[in-house]
Homo-oligomer: A and B are copies of this chain.
Amino acid sequence: LDYQHVQVPFEITLWIMLASLAKIAFHLYNKLPSVVPESCLLIFVGLIMGGIIYGLNDKSPPVMDSDIFFLYLLPPIVLDAGYFMPSRPFFENIGTILLYAVVGTIWNVFGIGFSLYGICQVRAFGLRDVSLLHNLLFGSLIAAVDPVAVLAVFEEIHVNEKLHILVFGESLLNDAVTVVLYKLFRSFCEMPAIKTMDVFAGVGKFFVVGIGGVLVGLTFGMTAAFTTRFTKDIRVIEPLFVFLYSYLSYLTAEMFHLSGIVAIIACAMGMKRYVEANISLKSHTTVKYFMKMWSSVSDTLIFIFLGVSTIGENHEWNWPYIFFTVIFCLIWRALGVLVLTFFVNRFHINTVTSKDQFIIAYGGLRGAICFSLVFLLPDFRRKKLFIAATTVVILFTVFAQGMTIRPLVDLLHVKRKRESAPTVGEQIHIRFLDHLLAGIEDISGHWGQYYWKDKLEYFNSKYLQKFLLREYDQPKSSIVLLYEKLERKHAIELAEAGQLGHAPSHPSLLCSVFLCSHNDRTVITEKKSEDALHPDGLEDIQEILARNLYRIRRTGPAYSRHTLPGETEPVEQAQEILILQRRSL
């Protein structure tokens, strides 16, 4: 037996295997995941594992290594989040998200830090040696809402898209602020005296870290898109580039002390549309599938390790401090959301309702990022107290808030995600309105989001696409691409239902709609063509639209870690087509 030799890969494989098997086990009992979020169950598994290890070895089980977390476990989740980010709601609410992420996080850090310092002044608690700076440092790591925990809970409760993107976007973008404040306070702790200059330098760093991350990410994203121009003869390594470049963007940003999370999100969002156009359909399936798979496994491992690391003797249980930490986390977040939303609502027509505000405040879950940061703290007398407080806050938010948020959403009748995704008709309408509003903004001289979106779109089609896309000579509208995708899916379902010959499909639909000419299928085969749009043709088109754009004509823009868009209920949909086709025959 030569275990030493294979130990490292063997143990890694076994951990991943355990995580995957745990996932399968939960999904075998369908009732369990609908009551308790998966994250709680996984932490529970981790606690049991940790208990077993502790019991057998009689020493604390290994804690999650911060390096492993930041270098290997976090990037897949963030990449997945960035790649599947619904870009429209994200950019529509970017102002609000940034306000929550930057101002909100700073508010929380200082709020929690100063109030805890106040608690430390109470002689009875025996905490007088914890300085203000240490409290602020602790505040900076405990204030950050965790994207992994937020995703794990929010993708199960299906709130409306705007609310989802506000919480989720905040949790992703606050990384830049957390990194800066955490490093700032940590270096202040080690400095003998703090000058005013240092504070201003710290403020300046926000912009460097955030914008630097975006720039690094976009650079790598564009390089990735450019590289996939040349992979036509060697399709099998296409998916690799998506992963390699995004990972490099993360590592490069981390190397220069920029925000890796922001970089990888910028990279994924930047490259997505170009890469998708360049690579083959199978490569794209592989990219999507592997991203989901990796992020799902990483996420599972993180929660299991969180559970394992909780067990042991790393904690100093000073209950007043821990209790007030939980309370202040809740209070300052609630206050922050109230105040910030008040300002946001003054400038927006589509306001954030008070129910939404409650869910935003309540959904501020803490997770593995706080946990890793607290272990990265330099050794000092009260480190174990901070570890204990962080552990309790994480467990409280994940268990208490995570498990009650679903009943609360039901109770408050929070607006849910619309069940049906926008139809092709709606999408055309939205695009039309975008153009119209861009024109209005241009005329009125108010340069809002539509104006900038239009400019970006122009720049994209004028320069970027030529440079980054392989087949630029045939630029396809996203609606044409969508139609092609749907048609392909439709064909597969027909083939699987054994009904290929029956399909009353209309390949010329696109011509009819976009060229506004009456080219029905039968007309094409008879090699005739009429240029005028006469009433019969219109009726024909409307009938085709009514039949073809029925429920199957959907896209799935909503984000979920565990399913790929368009994966749900193929059987039901196929049956629907069959019924439809029977009727039309």
A404, CB-defined interface residue at 8 Å:
no
A323, CB-defined interface residue at 8 Å:
no
A13-B248, A23-B234, A525-B585 given; A286·B290 CB < 8 A: yes
Residues of B within 8 A of A6 (CB): 71, 251, 254-255
Are A490 and B495 in contact (CB-based, < 8 A)? yes
Partner of A251, one of B13, B71, B233, B247: B13
Are A24 and B247 in contact (CB-based, < 8 A)? no
Are A255 and B290 in contact (CB-based, < 8 A)? no
Size class of the contact patch on chain A: 35 or more
How far is the CB of A568 from the nearest CB of chain B, in Å?
Answer: 11
Are A236 and B293 in contact (CB-based, < 8 A)? yes
A255-B6, A255-B10, A289-B239 given; A244·B20 CB < 8 A: yes
Interface string of A252-275 (1 = CB under 8 A from B): 101111000000000000000000
Task: State the CA gap A49–B498 with chains docked (Å).
Answer: 55
Are A500 and B503 in contact (CB-based, < 8 A)? yes
Closest to A489 in B: B495
A297-B240, A585-B525 given; A9·B255 CB < 8 A: no
Interface string of A492-509 (1 = CB under 8 A from B): 101110111111111110
A17-B244, A233-B30, A585-B525 given; A239·B297 CB < 8 A: no
* Most chain B C-beta atoms within 10 Å of own C-beta, residue among A27, A252, A254, A500: A500
Copies in the complex: 2
Closest to A506 in B: B501
A10-B251, A236-B564, A484-B496 given; A16·B244 CB < 8 A: yes
Residues of B within 8 A of A504 (CB): 501
How far is the CB of A577 from the nearest CB of chain B, in Å?
Answer: 12
* Most chain B C-beta atoms within 10 Å of own C-beta, residue among A6, A21, A563: A6
Partner of A282, one of B285, B490, B506: B285
Are B235 and A27 in contact (CB-based, < 8 A)? no
Residues of chain A from 477 to 525 with CB closer than 8 A to chain B in the complex: 484, 487-488, 490-492, 494-496, 498-508, 521, 525
Task: State the CA gap A563–B235 with chains docked (Å).
Answer: 8
Partner of A1, one of B9, B237, B256, B562: B256
A10-B255, A251-B13, A496-B488 given; A20·B241 CB < 8 A: yes
Closest to A486 in B: B495
How far is the CB of A335 from the nearest CB of chain B, in Å?
Answer: 36
A72, CB-defined interface residue at 8 Å:
yes
How far is the CB of A143 from the nearest CB of chain B, in Å?
Answer: 24
Are B290 and A9 in contact (CB-based, < 8 A)? no
Residues of B within 8 A of A248 (CB): 10, 13-14, 17
Task: State the CA gap A236–B252 with chains docked (Å).
Answer: 29
Task: State the CA gap A254–B3 with chains docked (Å).
Answer: 9
Are B236 and A24 in contact (CB-based, < 8 A)? no
Closest 10 CB pairs of A and B: A498-B507, A491-B491, A491-B495, A286-B289, A500-B505, A27-B233, A236-B292, A6-B251, A487-B495, A488-B495
**29 contacts across the A-B interface (CB closer than 8 A):** A1-B255, A3-B255, A5-B67, A5-B254, A9-B71, A10-B255, A16-B244, A17-B248, A20-B241, A23-B234, A24-B227, A234-B562, A236-B296, A236-B563, A239-B289, A239-B293, A282-B564, A290-B290, A487-B495, A488-B492, A488-B495, A488-B496, A490-B495, A490-B500, A491-B491, A491-B494, A491-B500, A494-B500, A498-B508
